[in-house]
Structure 1
Amino acid sequence: MEPIEVGNNNKVIFSHAKSAGGELKLVTIGTGRAVLNTTVGVNKFMHNGVKMVAGTYTAISHSTIFEGTGSLVVSIVTSVAAELEKQRHLFLLLLK
């Protein structure tokens, strides 16, 4: 997937929950911003080539990247099988 490049004095607008796809690669230059009009969910987020950690990003928390009243929620999912295996180990620990 190619990155979305937002040049100086330009904006890219996200107005749908799945509008960024599963992985968002965003490059902002100068005053370029991403406008979040809703809660947008992704599995991975790269900003200017840097992998961002899982969490919630907003215009308040990251004003040099985002504008708007929405948020970008990054929740990294490795795989269903890996998640089930973790839960199985937790269940076994609780039984002991």
Structure 2
Amino acid sequence: MEIYKASKTFPPDEKYSLTDQIRRSSRAVYANLSYEWRKRRYKGVFIYKLTDAAQEAAETKTCHIDKTTFARLDESYEHISAMRPTMAKKADAFCH
């Protein structure tokens, strides 16, 4: 929701490029995490979707938002991102 609010401040001429892209990539992070959790019985899919979620999050970070918003959102991103390698290494604990 914060990404959506931040994207409302983008210039109107960026509506179909930058604005649309940051909204799609931010939604894709959660979609991939949800998908990998549902498919966790398949270790390969689990790890693959963790990687996809990280890629979408990185793409979202590259978009243009102010420094204050970026700092707040980046803290959340780093917290979630820090869990990904451990989850991938210990996929057997999550996959069943």
What TM-score, normalized to structure 1? 0.25
Q: Which has the higher contact order (CA 8 A, sep 6+)?
A: 2
> Which of the two has greater strand per residue?
1
**Normalised by the size of structure 2, how large is the TM-score?**
0.25
Q: Which has the higher helix share?
A: 2
Which of the two has higher C-alpha Rg? 1
